[in-house]
Structure 1
Amino acid sequence: MKIVPFLKSLSRSVHNQEQHDQHDEQELNTVGACTTLTVWRKSLLISCKGFTVIDSNGDLVYRVDNYVGHPEEVVLMDASGKSVLTMRRRKKLTLVDSWFVHEGEVGDYCRTRTSKSSPTFCVRKNMNMLNANPNILAYVYREAWGHKRYAYLIEGSYTHRSCKVLDEYSNVVAEIKRKEANIGGVSYGVEVFHLIVHPGFDAGFAMALVLALDQLFS
């Protein structure tokens, strides 16, 4: 599915800039084997708030359409509108804000039987002010297996669109990077940014983490 001309032009401009940016040559060599997605913090539907995610060719990859500003449930869809992952806020009374990640679509309105009701991961906001690393934003736990140790941690600043997702061995598996450039009169700001997914990490799950961060820190 092709996206609107504005986003397509924007995505290609970003892609071309990265290919020719000699100052970031070393970084680009690392990112070359990665998947770079352009994330626009805006829904394609006028009446909704959400996200539009496109690849370097200007093709729609993921979309999110929310009818309320702070929903208790966020559904990540693919280009065809099929639910990929569902994010649900933890409703129990707790000081720690958490979001559960479910596969497919869940909820009473779900018409299919293909989705899993049990969450696969849980994203929990870091509330420990005495933590040795104050840059940690959130921890991601494997909820289905009941592991007490985190599977991933997210550090950096979502407000400034500068984050890294690291696995339990401190390997970077995904990154959020802000675009400071101004191409063709289009200023990116913080509403348009890059999601860089490293080899072996699921792009849909990486985008789900973006959605969780947006709810936790926006």
Structure 2
Amino acid sequence: MMSQPAAILGPQYCVPQVVDIAIVRKVMSLADGSFVVTDANDNILFKVKGRFFSIHDRRVLVDAAGNPLVTLTEKIMSAHDRWQAFRGESTDPKDLIFTVKRSSMIQLKTKLHVFLSTNTTNEHVCDFRIEGSWLERSCVVYAGESNNVVAQMHKKHSVQSVLLGKDKFMVTVYPNVDYAFIAAIIVILDGINKDDSGD
């Protein structure tokens, strides 16, 4: 486990215990905010607003009060499905927090690399990596190239969620890991895989 808290979007999202968050996606919704992130008691932590069907995929993660935390944009014409995350509603390079890209062009399983804006290795050494199967909602987030798990996804099927047309899965975020950052990564993961599945 990480020894020091890794505050990426904010220290208030780093807590000393495990945090279970639920990602609820309305399957048939084309409207704004078709993505909600709740805690284990169904309290809304974050919502995702965005233009999902425009040429330029852009999503904004907002807190429960509607304050924008991070803007996630897909970089058009990039070879490795590159996404960038900016502070608040900015898309200014000086407000870049992190970049996510596929580790290779052709992938059977999900494998993404996350580079924080403070990373000076010119994208040779990633700060976090995501591996697993998005289809099965079983991805794991690791710290850098290590085997230290910082977050893990689990699929949660229920008759109710199927009837309501919702896709719900749980993410366990380990202690002292920024759970808002993990939520932002999941939103990007969804964006990258939406392109693959054509859904």
Q: TM-score when scaled to structure 1? A: 0.69
Pair 1:50 & 2:34 matched: yes
Matched, 1:165 2:141: yes
1:177–1:41 CA distance, 2 compared to 1 (3 A): same
Q: How many residues align?
A: 171
Q: Which residue type is aligned with residue 217 of structure 1?
A: N
CA contact (8 A) 1:76 1:86 kept: yes
Q: Which amino acid aligns with 1:65?
A: K
Residue of structure 1 in register with 2:21 after alignment = 37
CA contact (8 A) 1:85 1:204 kept: no
Contact preservation (8 Å) 2:18, 2:174: yes
Of 73, 92, 114, which aligns to 1:88? 73
Report what 1:152 is aligned to. 128
Question: For 2:31 and 2:166, how far apart are their aligned partners in 1?
Answer: 21
The Cα offsets for residues 45-86 of structure 1, whole Å up to 9 and x where unpaired, read as: 983253111112221100012243355221000000001111
- Conserved in 1, the CA contact under 8 Å of 2:113 and 2:126? yes
Alpha-carbon distance in 2 for matches of 1:97, 1:120? 17
CA RMSD of aligned residues (A): 2.7
Residue number in structure 1 paired with 2:99:
122
**Corresponding residue for residue 174 of structure 1:** 151
Deviation for aligned residue 1:207: 0.5
**Structure 2: segments with no counterpart, 5+ residues:** 1-16, 195-199
Take 1:124 and 1:49, find their aligned partners in 2: how far apart are those partners?
A: 24
CA distance in 2, matches of 1:161, 1:153: 16
Larger radius of gyration: 1
Q: What TM-score do you get using the length of structure 2 for normalisation?
A: 0.75
Q: Find the residue that maps to 1:40 and give its secondary structure.
A: strand
Deviating above 6 A after TM superposition, structure 1's stretches of 4 or more consecutive aligned residues are none
Could you list the runs of 5+ residues in structure 1 that have no partner in the other structure? 1-32, 108-114
Which residue matches 1:206?
182
Amino acid in the other structure paired with 2:99: C
Distance 2:178 2:155 in 1: 21
Percent identical: 25
Kindly indicate whether the alpha-carbon contact (under 8 Å) linking 1:49 and 1:67 is maintained by their aligned counterparts in 2.
no
